[in-house]
Structure 1
């Protein structure tokens, strides 16, 4: 009995490994491991430290800096929480709570960092798009991309995309500098791009004249007065010239997806953070912070082909077709 009592009283010794630090890393190592420069990393910490600071009497609690480091390490590698925790001497559950807390704090900044250009900014963006291939009045390019996820417990079949794996179909728009201007992360991977767009707030706002300009999309979208798409069957040189200009301009959104997925490996390996929508918006916010602070060095050479979900859109809009014909004619003059 005495032996049993001693075993019951015996407590597992807590072993604390040295916490992760970036003070001794070179700028190249910091960017390679965490996908941001040292200055940008500190900027991110300053943005959210009030939201993630936790008053505690524990001797080994995580500071805001350490919380952001752990989260960026997960987002940049997609590694399992247990592996990340083992490397710094904390539990898998604490890593999970930390990533959830930091992602929630960053996603709350979406209105500050993700928005359509207006005013003088819109004029500048349209001018930059025009210089690419002469396509006029473009505010953003739009497309959908698959974000890999674990199989959900409910409506599992709805999340299987045309490529055969579980995902969300995330709608994004971007400007001429790869800055994300809109994110919709509510829809399963099997849903068509056109359906997502028609149910989105950005479609409603363009329909109601909130923005002065147009979007460019691929053939998975309906042609509308504010959304230009390619001709499915170009039959004249002017049709071909129009399609070429649209393609050269719209490639910005494909490059944006490429930058985003190469910067954050968790998007390719599969998001394991709940809620997934908040994690996706977090990545878009971080992407825009990186763009604004020029933290995309070496990432522009790779981009992905469109994940457009489904065949050409069969929805037609007479006014949209007329607008497209008008723009096409300007290319042939």
Structure 2
């Protein structure tokens, strides 16, 4: 009888303990912008303090409206958590430990900042109203006329998704997203399409993009440069696969020297945000938001002069693999021949 009473007493004690609210523990959080030198802040977060505060100003009002929590994370720490995650591609718990916040808080902050900044893509990723300066700058590189951008796709590795896994396996055998980008003459990104699985070909991405329709309808006046994976169009110039004369050889040389800017842009972007170079441990939808956010931040860094030191040998100078690629010759052939004969 006594043993049964003792067991009942212990049971009641355990019940009371479980019902008692657990006290919230608030860690001491420091401000890295105050504790670190400017160069150290740049190394850790890929931006200098004044640019980080400018980014905080972009999302401050939205962050204040999004939370009703007591003692919520300050907007500055949320932005720093997101920047640290994108800069390293590391796990949330490791990123959180460096800032004195929990794994769950780090994940929420990174997702929120990526969602807010990716929604601002149209503000920071676009073609200028006047393309004449782009055309002049591109022409000075190798004498290629009327160029307003270089287009290509890049594979961003992600973790294996739970749905339609086979669609995300690219030709190199790993799970990825195929991201289409167009760059300007100073490595800025003027267009990005982040929604296609890794198995989708570059040419299909461009054909079904809004950018293609804008060129088709004449809303953008100029020429894009792409590799031979794209269909030859009057507004999209590809190289000659088998040049037959000196003009076509010079055309190919100028095409390569100009189009390499998109490869260099990929290199700069992936050096700044290591998660794009290694792997994004995110679902496809969240990975797309993170990639667009990186592009927005990349352009912000260029506009504010807060950029990485670029070395030309960081990026391949002739990355195009012409094997297993076909060119569909359309009305762009006459335009390409005209450029080769008259400019090269």
Q: Please, what TM-score do these two structures have when normalized by structure 2?
A: 0.90
Q: Does 24-33 or 224-233 show the bigger shift?
A: 24-33
| SS of the residue 1:66 aligns to | helix
Q: Does 1:77 align with 2:88?
A: yes
Q: Does 1:157 align with 2:166?
A: yes
| SS of the residue 1:23 aligns to | helix
Aligned partner (choices 14, 30, 35) of residue 41 of structure 2: 30
State whether residues 146 and 307 of structure 1, in contact with CA within 8 Å, keep that contact through their aligned partners in structure 2. Answer: no
**In 2: Cα distance, 1:310 partner to 1:7 partner:** 68
Q: Does 1:118 align with 2:139?
A: no
**In 1: Cα distance, 2:220 partner to 2:261 partner:** 20
Q: Does 1:264 align with 2:277?
A: no
State whether residues 192 and 309 of structure 1, in contact with CA within 8 Å, keep that contact through their aligned partners in structure 2. Answer: no
Shift, 1:309, TM fit: 10
**In 2: Cα distance, 1:307 partner to 1:168 partner:** 19
Cα 1:125–1:196, aligned 2, differ >3 Å: closer, same or farther? same
| SS of the residue 1:178 aligns to | coil
| SS of the residue 2:177 aligns to | strand
State whether residues 78 and 109 of structure 2, in contact with CA within 8 Å, keep that contact through their aligned partners in structure 1. Answer: yes
Number of aligned residue pairs: 328
Residue of structure 1 in register with 2:247 after alignment: 238
Cα 1:311–1:295, aligned 2, differ >3 Å: closer, same or farther? farther
Shift, 1:268, TM fit: 1.7
| Cα displacement string for residues 279-301 of structure 1 (whole angstroms, at most 9, x for unaligned residues) | 11111100100111122231344
Residue of structure 2 in register with 1:16 after alignment: 27
Shift, 1:275, TM fit: 2.2
State whether residues 193 and 309 of structure 1, in contact with CA within 8 Å, keep that contact through their aligned partners in structure 2. Answer: no
**In 1: Cα distance, 2:342 partner to 2:322 partner:** 31
Residue of structure 1 in register with 2:5 after alignment: none
| SS of the residue 2:301 aligns to | helix
State whether residues 114 and 290 of structure 2, in contact with CA within 8 Å, keep that contact through their aligned partners in structure 1. Answer: yes
**RMSD value over aligned CA atoms?**
2.0
Return 5+ residue gaps in structure 1 as ranges.
Answer: none
Residue of structure 2 in register with 1:329 after alignment: 341
Q: Does 1:291 align with 2:302?
A: yes
| Cα displacement string for residues 166-209 of structure 1 (whole angstroms, at most 9, x for unaligned residues) | 10110000010111011111111111111111001100110000
Shift, 1:117, TM fit: 2.6
| SS of the residue 2:180 aligns to | strand
**In 2: Cα distance, 1:100 partner to 1:149 partner:** 16
| SS of the residue 1:30 aligns to | helix
**In 2: Cα distance, 1:133 partner to 1:20 partner:** 47
Return 5+ residue gaps in structure 2 as ranges.
Answer: 1-8
Larger Cα Rg: Structure 1 or Structure 2? 2
**In 2: Cα distance, 1:260 partner to 1:307 partner:** 19
Q: Does 1:202 align with 2:211?
A: yes
Residue of structure 1 in register with 2:101 after alignment: 90
> Equivalences for 1:44-193 in 2 at 5 Å?
44-53=55-64, 54=66, 56=68, 58-59=70-71, 61-119=72-130, 122-193=131-202
**In 2: Cα distance, 1:147 partner to 1:309 partner:** 21
